Amino acid sequence: MALTHLPTVLVTGASSGIGAVYADRFARRGHNLVLVARDKARMETLATRLRAATGVSIDILAADLTDIAELGTVEKRLREDDNIGILINNAGAAAPGSVKNPYLEAFARLIRLNVTAVSRLAGVAGTRFASRGEGAIINISSIVALIPELMLGIYGATKSYVLTLSQSLQSELGPNGVYVQAVLPPATRTEIWERSGRSVDDLGVAMNVDELGDAALVGFDRREPITIPSLPDEKQWETFNGARKAMLPNLPQKHAAERYRLQ
């Protein structure tokens, strides 16, 4: 077991894709890990490779995060394990179906995974991190949080939720020394596409998952609140976010705006 003063990192959705890249990169930086996903065998294979390559200590917590009891075991670990100082809220999925032609149970599962689990894990970790005045939460959103028109169904809405949740957490936990990063990946070459009945090759353009993970970590090291790895000109985000903030003093009003008043 590696002796390390670095915080342990709990990664959800660590069995493949972006989560597996985060696990790899944090292990190489010397952090012990707790890997969370449903596929225990896949996580064992990843952990064996990373233990051999880096010497860090890796625990595996197999859990279906849409199941409230199994989610509870992850919350318990986050609540009780003082060594955990970084949460990567990465597990997520897309769902087939559109709002016009919905698979209602698939929508409900998606909300349990992309919204409920992300919120509960951030809440549990954020509370403990704030009480000790340090810690970090990385929430994996998506570029479709900004342009939900790109995807049918409720996936974009769940990813907008992750973005605005991150902004709320930044304002609430930031003063207590907790860093919260929202990462907005573009379409990235992972299994998420095939799992939801699409082919990544139909998209025209998709980022390599290693490149995405490395870029997101540059943003993490810079302590960026929002990281959009594919956006060439960061001023575009700043302008967009600035326009939102400029509305702030005008939004709370005692009376309806002139255009809504009955004549």
Contacting residues toward ligand NAP, per CB under 6 A? 13-19, 37-39, 42, 64-66, 90-93, 113, 140, 142, 185, 187-188, 190-192, 195
Residue whose CB is less far from ligand NAP, 16 or 54: 16
| Residue placing its CB nearer to ligand NAP in the complex, 130 or 141 | 141
Tell the smallest beta-carbon distance from residue 24 to ligand NAP (Å).
Answer: 13
Q: Tell me the C-alpha distance between 37 and 177, whole Å.
A: 28
SS3 content of the chain, % helix, strand, coil (to 5): 50, 15, 35
Q: How far is the CB of 141 from ligand NAP (least distance, A)?
A: 7
How far apart, in Å, are the Cα atoms of 65 and each of 50, 69, 91, 138, 164? 24, 9, 8, 17, 21
Q: Which is nearer to ligand NAP, 19 or 148 (CB)?
A: 19
In the complex, minimum distance from the CB of residue 22 to ligand NAP, in angstroms, rounded to a whole number: 9
Give the residue from 66, 19, 25, 67 showing the smallest Cα distance to 43. Answer: 19
Which residue has 């595996």 as its token pair?
A: 60
* Alpha-carbon dihedral sign for residues 172, 255, 241, 164: positive
Q: In the bound complex, what is the minimum distance in angstroms from residue 145's beta carbon to ligand NAP? A: 9
Rounded to 5 degrees, φ, ψ at 117 are -65, -45
216: Cα separation from own chain's centroid: 11
Instruction: Specify the 3-state DSSP secondary structure of 193.
Output: helix
- Burial (CB < 10 A; 0-12, 13-18, 19+), residue 196, is middle
**What spatial distance separates the first Cα and last Cα of the chain, rounded to whole Å?**
75
Place of tokens 């974009």: 156
Q: Closer to ligand NAP at the Cβ: 9 or 113?
A: 113
In whole angstroms, how close is the CB of 167 to ligand NAP at the nearest point?
Answer: 17
- Shortest spacing between CB 1 and ligand NAP, in angstroms: 25
Q: CB of 18 within 8 A of CB of 42?
A: no
Q: How far is the CB of 2 from ligand NAP (least distance, A)?
A: 24
Nearer to ligand NAP, 157 or 187 (CB): 187
- Whichever of 45 and 241 has its CB closer to ligand NAP, that residue is 45
Nearer to ligand NAP, 126 or 213 (CB): 213
